[in-house]
Amino acid sequence: MKIARSRIITAFLVISVLSCCMLTECINGNDIVYWTPKAYSVKSFLTEKSAYNGKKYLVYVVLPPDYEKSDTPYPVLYTLDGEELYWQFGKTLEEKKKRVILVTIGNMGDLNRSEDNGMPGIKNFTKFVTQELAPIIEDNYNIDPHRRAILGQSWTGVGVSFMAFIEPTENRYFQTYISADGAYISSVNDAIHSLANTLKQKTDSLPVTLILRSAQNGMYQLGTAFYNQISQYTFKDYNVSFSVISRTYHGWSIVEPVFRSYIENYEEIEE
């Protein structure tokens, strides 16, 4: 069964359909090959301007090789920092042969990254992801509605944590929120604590799984303080876990093992 493509997308580019295509970046005039997909395929599109923040976003979609042959819905994993990390995530998925659709969202510049993942911009960015982008993905791909997750790192890890408390309790899009070495400065902790208190006045339920991981040589002290705060919340169906990963640093050093660990939840593609 294929999902009808009913949404209008400003630009839709097939980056890699044939297995011989390569994902590259031009650095100092030289093409650096990051990932040559052997079986997976990568597509990208530029969204229309969001009705919530007036911004466009470049989105990459990585599809497993059995997608065209299967009628079974696929779990979906969204990740932020798309320009920097989509090829690394895609390469890892292919190495592990995991059956999941990956959707990575580009920041479209450092200023956007800062605005979209902190207050108050994260509120509109959350609406963009869940009310504008997600319907496009759901219309075009066969997604399992019970297996949706989102991952961020550093400042986008903060954004993902905000999302867990901003999304409405009813009709929530994501079930799992993953933060790798989030930059939990005191103003972030205060803002999330305020969101949690406001939410508590409306409902006793917060059906989320929040996975926090910090780098031993990164922001583990900030992560520890943040976890100590939010682990005290007494919402029903609220699950939060935290650990420090040894011999890791801020950046891909921590993101890679966090990503690898989480995708173990997904099935392998049958040969």
Q: What pLDDT is attached to residue 28? A: 37
Query: Rounded CA gap, 251 and 249, in Å?
Result: 6
Mean pLDDT of 207-211: 97
Check: CB of residue 143 under 8 Å from CB of residue 101. yes
State the burial class of residue 46 (Cβ atoms within 10 Å of its Cβ: 0-12, 13-18, 19+).
middle
How many domains in the chain? 1
DSSP for 150-169?
EEEETHHHHHHHHHHHHS-S
- Is the residue at 146 inside a domain? yes
Q: What is the mean pLDDT of the chain?
A: 87
Average pLDDT over residues 199-213: 95
CB 135 within 8 A of CB 148: no
Please name which of 7, 86, 87 lies closest in space to residue 47, comparing C-alpha atoms.
7
- Is 68 within the bounds of a domain? yes
For residue range 37-80, list pLDDT tens digits in order.
889 999 999 999 999 999 999 999 999 998 988 899 999 999 99
1 in a domain, yes or no? no
Q: Residue 44 is part of a domain; what is its CATH number? A: 3.40.50.1820
Report the pLDDT value the prediction gives residue 110, as an integer from 0 to 100: 83
| H or E segment to which residue 26 belongs | strand 23-27
Would you say residue 3 lies in a domain?
no
Asked if residue 6 is part of any domain, the answer here is no
Domain of residue 94, residue span: 11-263
What's residue 18's pLDDT? Answer: 29
Is residue 43, in this structure, part of any structural domain at all?
yes
Which residues are bridge partners to 46 per DSSP? 11, 58
pTM of structure:
0.88
Give the pLDDT of residue 177.
98
In a domain, 269, yes or no: no
Asked if pLDDT for residue 14 goes beyond 90, the answer is: no
- Residue 4 maps to a domain: no
